[in-house]
Amino acid sequence: MKEKATSFDIAHRAGVSQSTVSRALRNSPLVSKETRDKIKSIARELNYKVDKNASNLRQQQSKTLALLLFEDPTSDDSMINPFFLSMLGSITRATANAGYDLLVSFQQFSDDWHADFEDTHKADGIILLGYGDFLEYQEKLQALEEQQTHFVRWGAINESHPGIVIGSNNYQGGKNITQHLLALGHREFVFVGGADNNSPEFLERFNGFNDALIDAGIVQKHQRAKHWDAISTEHSGYNVGKALVESGAKVDAILCASDLIAIGVLTAL
């Protein structure tokens, strides 16, 4: 007797992965219409039927959350921003209190990294920490939303991606610390770090910093305060700090966009 066709048979005929077959048969928007139609046509030819019992089993909760870290250039081999490491204990405790396990891994940028955890039922939801260049990252967020993946991210609020975001008031933080330094008598400021849409959190910090200086009359309205660009690494911060020293720039207060930049700047000074 001929054995029943499986999703692996369809995948072989279609020249795609088994997970792609699974998504196509669920009408996932992550699979193009052309590929979905091709897979469904092959499924009909093979008289393939979805195993409802297996499907229901796969849809059971795993009682696990996936914490996915973005790889950051660091001075050691961890590739993890120390700020996110400091959050790990609190996240682990919160998941344990809710009766969940926590799976910690790195974000992978293969085509299906964003869907693999839920599709294979390794996790019921995803926590994203870090993102690199936000303009490039938006495509991944869009895919997560279209897949209807359960996820939360740490970062800046972005109206084009209305999903659940946990973060801090970066604008007010930048403004508060600048006002504090002004009260101490500092008048020559420079901001070190990204200040554009590629780094929205850093941009908000810069805007708070800039507005505080405008309010104090140090920067003219509609102008930008002194700014040295730097990516969020110790090495980049060190290079900026060294350049500031060598340039002889008159500066008595430096605001850094991130902790890694600050460590590098302090090392150079």
State the CATH number of the domain containing residue 136.
Answer: 3.40.50.2300
Provide the whole-model pTM: 0.69
**Rg for the chain (alpha carbons), in Å?**
24
Q: For residues 149, 152, 157 and 159, what is the CA-based torsion angle, rounded to 10 degrees?
A: 20
Q: State how far the Cα of 233 lies from the Cα of 81, in Å rounded to an integer.
A: 9
Q: Which of 100, 131, 166 corresponds to the end of one domain? A: 166
The answer to whether residue 31 sits within a structural domain is yes
Q: Which of 150, 166, 182 corresponds to the end of one domain? A: 166
The answer to whether residue 242 sits within a structural domain is yes
Query: In 107-195, where do the E strands start and end?
Result: 125-129, 151-154, 165-166, 189-192
Q: State how far the Cα of 178 lies from the Cα of 189, in Å rounded to an integer.
A: 9
**Interstrand relation of 151-154 and 165-166 (parallel, antiparallel or unpaired):** parallel
Query: Which DSSP state fits 105?
Result: E
Give yes or no: residues 32 and 70 share one domain. no
Give yes or no: residues 162 and 186 share one domain. no
Give yes or no: residues 176 and 199 share one domain. yes
Per-residue pLDDT tens, the chain, 269 aa: give them: 356 788 888 999 999 988 888 888 878 777 888 999 999 999 999 888 766 545 544 556 678 888 988 876 666 666 677 778 888 889 999 988 888 899 888 876 555 655 566 566 678 888 988 887 888 788 778 877 777 778 898 888 777 776 788 888 999 999 999 999 999 999 999 999 998 888 899 999 999 999 999 999 999 988 899 999 998 888 899 999 999 999 988 899 999 998 889 999 999 98
CB 153 within 8 A of CB 128: yes
Give yes or no: residues 248 and 213 share one domain. yes
The answer to whether residue 201 sits within a structural domain is yes
Give yes or no: residues 103 and 34 share one domain. no
DSSP string for 16-42: S-HHHHHHHHTT-TTS-HHHHHHHHHH
**Interstrand relation of 151-154 and 125-129 (parallel, antiparallel or unpaired):** parallel
Give yes or no: residues 138 and 44 share one domain. no
- How many residues appear in the chain? 269
Give yes or no: residues 119 and 209 share one domain. no
Chain-centre distance for alpha carbon 150: 14
Give yes or no: residues 82 and 104 share one domain. yes
The pLDDT value recorded for residue 205 is 95
Condensed to tens digits (0 to 9), the pLDDT of residues 204-224 reads: 999 999 999 999 999 998 889
Give yes or no: residues 12 and 98 share one domain. no
Give yes or no: residues 189 and 141 share one domain. no
Domain containing 18 — which CATH number? 1.10.260.40
Condensed to tens digits (0 to 9), the pLDDT of residues 130-188 reads: 887 888 788 778 877 777 778 898 888 777 776 788 888 999 999 999 999 999 999 99
Vertex 148, ends 36 and 134: CA angle to 5°?
105
On the CB side of 82, how many CA atoms lie within 13 Å of its CA?
A: 12
CB 225 within 8 A of CB 194: no
Q: Which residues pair with 69 in a beta bridge?
A: 106, 129
Q: Which of 166, 190, 221 corresponds to the end of one domain? A: 166
The answer to whether residue 156 sits within a structural domain is yes
The answer to whether residue 2 sits within a structural domain is no
The answer to whether residue 33 sits within a structural domain is yes
Give yes or no: residues 182 and 217 share one domain. yes
Question: What is the span of the domain harbouring residue 40?
Answer: 7-58
The answer to whether residue 1 sits within a structural domain is no
Give yes or no: residues 74 and 134 share one domain. yes
- Count of structural domains within the chain: 3
